[in-house]
Amino acid sequence: MDQLFLIPFLAGLPLALLLPVLGNLARLRDEWLAALGIAHLAGAAGLAGLAWHLPAVLGAPLGALAGAGFKHALGGRGNSVFGVMILAGWAATLLIAANSSLGESLAHALVDGQLYFASTIDLAAAWLVGALGLATLSWLTPRLIRARLFPGHELANRLPAWRWHFGFDLLAALAIAVATATLGLMAAFALVFLPAWIAFRLAPDWRRAGRLAAGLGGAGYLLAFAIALALDQPFGPVLVTVLLAMLAASLAVRR
């Protein structure tokens, strides 16, 4: 690989493996719209950061974490709160673009993705988030599954359930924010949404669903990166197209 593209490639790789696993948990909780809602807030905050001369990968997590805090404060689950985030993020993005020197072109670039321009800051943020996910998911996952399958268990045993629910929200917000700033808004959403959908259709148990989702995310990322470089195409749309092709192929496979 050309040295010019090595940092962008390595910056996106841990996100392509982590986001599908988070997508499995979001789908388990009936919160698959979380990726799009958080990504919109992250995009708006990333654009605001650029207006203040901060890298998007530093500004985006602030908006995403604020969204996670807002959701936790409401105490609600499901997709409704993420619909509010989508509308708020979309409005804020366009207003910041219209009232700053950045212009709409940079706002579109944040939505479409800027992977080819990833820097060492993006690389460090992506691998830091990947390490954080690796360290915390083994603790979070069984508690989130139990909360979904046995919702009365936490209340009956007076468990501090807010710790793992809020912890997952924070982890997802941080990962999606970094992915939005690095890969683009729709590419981040596709990595959370599509591999998890395929895994839920095909995998016979939870462990294999996690491995399948991560494998699909990684394979889709590698294939999309190779195609985008070979054909001189923008990475985000190519990645989404590859993942959609994987979904179409999975629909032909018996569950």
Domain residue extents for the chain: 3-251
How far is residue 217's CA from residue 19's CA, in Å, rounded to a whole number? 8
Residue 224: which pLDDT band, with cuts at 50, 70 and 90?
A: very high
Residue 247: which pLDDT band, with cuts at 50, 70 and 90?
A: very high
Give tens-digit pLDDT for 137-178. Answer: 988 888 888 877 877 766 766 766 667 777 888 888 888 888
Residue 209: which pLDDT band, with cuts at 50, 70 and 90?
A: very high
User: Quick check: helix, strand or coil at residue 32?
Assistant: coil
Q: What angle do CA 198, 204, 33 make, to 5 degrees?
A: 35
Backbone phi, then psi, for 116, in 5-degree steps? -65, -20
Give tens-digit pLDDT for 30-43. Answer: 877 777 777 777 77
Is the separation of the CB atoms in 23 and 193 below 8 Å?
Answer: yes
Backbone phi, then psi, for 128, in 5-degree steps? -65, -45
Percent of the chain scoring above 90 in pLDDT:
29
Query: Is the pLDDT reported for residue 107 higher than 60?
Result: no
How far is residue 162's CA from residue 181's CA, in Å, rounded to a whole number? 28
First to last CA, the chain: 38
Give residue for tokens 């809602």: 37
Is the separation of the CB atoms in 121 and 58 below 8 Å?
Answer: yes
Residue 90: which pLDDT band, with cuts at 50, 70 and 90?
A: confident
For the chain, the helix, strand and coil percentages under 3-state DSSP, each to the nearest 5: 85, 0, 15
How far is residue 237's CA from residue 195's CA, in Å, rounded to a whole number? 16
* CATH entry, 3-251, from 3.30.230.80, 3.40.50.1370, 1.10.3470.10, 1.10.10.10: 1.10.3470.10
Give tens-digit pLDDT for 41-76. Answer: 777 777 777 767 767 677 777 777 777 777 766 665
How far is residue 31's CA from residue 159's CA, in Å, rounded to a whole number? 22
Q: Name the residue with higher pLDDT: 154 or 131.
A: 131
Would you state the torsion angle of the CA atoms of residues 216, 183, 80, 135, taken in this order, to the nearest 10 degrees?
A: 60
Q: What angle do CA 126, 131, 134 make, to 5 degrees?
A: 125
Q: Which two tokens stand for residue 106?
A: 């940079």
User: Quick check: helix, strand or coil at residue 128?
Assistant: helix
Percent of the chain scoring above 70 in pLDDT:
81
Residue 75 pLDDT: 62
